[in-house]
């Protein structure tokens, strides 16, 4: 039976405040709290909350037949916990239905997978721990930032314990192949690839309220008919959408929520079901291997990573940021580590894009800056202050290898001191126990000694002589 696999993505970056050159070294707080609060609260109430409520109704009305997955960055979770805690309650309800699967993403929504495998693995682990503590779920499928994927990522995903990866069904990679199948990763055949159906995803994300589109208006009946009419052997259609599509990019008065809620009814009529990514991977077998030698993503027409690393500004900021990655991981400063995550957000580099035409319009729509150059200047000022703080803990004059050696020695010494302290503590406890037992036994010992002394004295005392018997006359 043909299935639809929905994935809804949620992410909000920590937007930076205007940070001047003269703030470097003087101001270590980088974020525009007012702007972040305003945007996150507005998007949550216009989009996230009504969309989540709609999905919850769909699950209840279909008795669990409607299923989907959600990918939410750790940075977004932090802000939603702070500004819109009622949405977190909705996520918990969705998780409790068992019909919603939560996928693993890099906590910071970063590009770490392109340059730093250790950082990438650590962020995914932190994200999984966060989801488990907050929602009680354990992700089994990986969704990298903006669907970024290449052959180097699959072995990392396998090492982290994931059985599948959700990524872009890029035309220049697929060629004549269809995205509506499960594929093996060429670099790690045990890892399965689920590919986004670009056209059917964009029919909702980009064209739903476009009155100039020749298929306008898009109805649930029409949309399900398109999916049902795909070749019978193509058994899964992966639809990846930003949750902000519903009520955000397409406002409620366009009928977007009614469209979403009507999908299960028409799907049932056409014999189309809904599955989570893990269900797809457990039911469908891969039809072949897929190799991706150069990184792909879900952004822009080229479906590559030039949205974030397409010009000299972006590459300079990217390289400067990750030049201190190893040192930040070595430190124990909680505030520094938090800033490290926030500054890795891919959005900061996205704002620096100088692309023109259709792509340029998309980039500028999301940016809080007037120009890419303003975004670059502001970010580099913040990064300069951040690196100064890192250098205060671990001077850049010390090479990484030398620093690692020194820190290893320090850790070994600390471990040895800790072991000795434990041994000392154990000895002290033994002495204290001995003293206590000795104190308890001392009266008994004195009494026993007194009794022994008495017996000895009695033994030494000469016996009384009997009177001699009188002789008979």
Catalytic residues: 146
Tell me if 298 sits within 8 A of 197, measured CB to CB: no
Rounded to an integer, what distance in angstroms lies between the CA atom of residue 279 and that of residue 65?
Answer: 12
Rounded to an integer, what distance in angstroms lies between the CA atom of residue 346 and that of residue 60?
Answer: 36
Residue located via tokens 């650590």: 122
Rounded to an integer, what distance in angstroms lies between the CA atom of residue 64 and that of residue 276?
Answer: 12
> CA 84: distance to chain centroid?
19
Interhelix angle for 312-322 vs 372-393, to 10°? 20
DSSP of 327-342, one letter per residue? HHHH---HHHHHHHHH
Rounded to an integer, what distance in angstroms lies between the CA atom of residue 22 and that of residue 381?
Answer: 9
Q: How buried is residue 298: exposed, middle or buried, by Cβ count under 10 Å (0-12/13-18/19+)?
A: buried
Rounded to an integer, what distance in angstroms lies between the CA atom of residue 391 and that of residue 398?
Answer: 10
Rounded to an integer, what distance in angstroms lies between the CA atom of residue 418 and that of residue 394?
Answer: 24
Cα 214-227-225 angle, rounded to 5 deg: 65
Close Cβ partners of 205 (under 8 Å, ≥ 6 residues apart) = 241, 242, 245, 249
Bridge-partner residues for 182, per DSSP?
Answer: 194
In eight-state DSSP terms, residue 236 is E
* Torsional sign, CA 138, 123, 168, 150: negative
Close Cβ partners of 196 (under 8 Å, ≥ 6 residues apart) = 147, 166, 167, 168, 169, 179, 238, 239, 240, 298
Rounded to an integer, what distance in angstroms lies between the CA atom of residue 26 and that of residue 338?
Answer: 19
Detail the DSSP E strand segments found in 11-66. Answer: none
Q: How buried is residue 413: exposed, middle or buried, by Cβ count under 10 Å (0-12/13-18/19+)?
A: exposed
Rounded to an integer, what distance in angstroms lies between the CA atom of residue 345 and that of residue 110?
Answer: 5
H or E stretch covering 39: helix 33-43
Q: Which of 385, 386, 354 is nearest to 369 (CA)?
A: 354
């Amino acid at each position: 039976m043909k299935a639809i696999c929905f994935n809804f993505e949620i992410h909000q970056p920590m937007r930076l405040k205007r940070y001047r050159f003269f703030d470097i070294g003087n101001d270590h707080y980088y974020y525009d709290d007012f702007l972040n609060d305003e945007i996150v609260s507005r998007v949550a109430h216009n989009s996230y909350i009504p969309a989540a409520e709609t999905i919850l109704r769909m699950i209840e009305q279909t008795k669990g037949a409607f299923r989907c997955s959600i990918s939410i960055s750790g940075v977004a979770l932090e802000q939603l916990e702070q500004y819109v805690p009622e949405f977190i309650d909705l996520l918990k309800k969705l998780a409790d239905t068992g019909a919603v699967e939560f996928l693993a993403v890099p906590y910071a929504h970063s590009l770490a997978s392109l340059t730093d495998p250790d950082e990438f693995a650590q962020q995914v682990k932190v994200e999984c721990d966060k989801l488990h503590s907050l929602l009680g779920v354990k992700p089994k499928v990986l969704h990298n930032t903006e669907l970024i994927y290449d052959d180097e990522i699959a072995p990392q995903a396998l090492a982290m314990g994931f059985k599948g990866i959700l990524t872009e069904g890029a035309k220049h990679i697929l060629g004549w192949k269809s995205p509506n199948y499960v594929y093996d990763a060429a670099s790690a055949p045990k890892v399965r690839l689920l590919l986004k159906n670009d056209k059917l995803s964009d029919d909702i994300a980009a064209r739903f309220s476009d009155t100039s589109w020749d298929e306008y208006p898009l109805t649930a009946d029409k949309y399900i008919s398109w999916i049902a009419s795909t070749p019978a052997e193509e058994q899964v259609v992966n639809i990846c959408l930003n949750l902000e599509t519903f009520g955000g990019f397409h406002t409620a008065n366009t009928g977007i929520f009614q469209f979403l809620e009507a999908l299960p009814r028409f799907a049932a009529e056409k014999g189309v079901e809904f599955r989570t990514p893990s269900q797809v991977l457990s039911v469908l077998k891969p039809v072949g291997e897929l190799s991706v030698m150069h990184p792909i993503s879900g952004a822009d027409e080229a479906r590559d990573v030039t949205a974030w690393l397409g010009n000299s500004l972006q590459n300079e900021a990217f390289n400067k940021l990750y030049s201190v990655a190893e040192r930040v991981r070595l430190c124990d400063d909680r505030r520094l580590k938090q800033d490290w995550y926030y500054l890795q957000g891919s959005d900061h580099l996205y704002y620096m894009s100088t692309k023109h035409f259709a792509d340029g319009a998309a980039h500028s729509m999301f940016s809080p800056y007037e120009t890419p150059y303003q975004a670059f200047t502001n970010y580099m000022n913040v990064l300069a202050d951040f690196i100064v703080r890192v250098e205060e803990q671990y001077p850049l004059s010390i090479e990484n290898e030398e620093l690692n050696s020194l820190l290893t020695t320090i850790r070994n010494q600390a471990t040895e001191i800790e072991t000795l302290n434990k041994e000392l503590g154990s000895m002290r406890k033994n002495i204290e126990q001995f003293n206590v037992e000795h104190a308890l036994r001392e009266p008994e010992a004195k009494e026993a000694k007194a009794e022994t002394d008495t017996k000895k004295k009695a033994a030494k005392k000469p016996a009384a002589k009997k009177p001699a018997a009188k002789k008979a006359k």
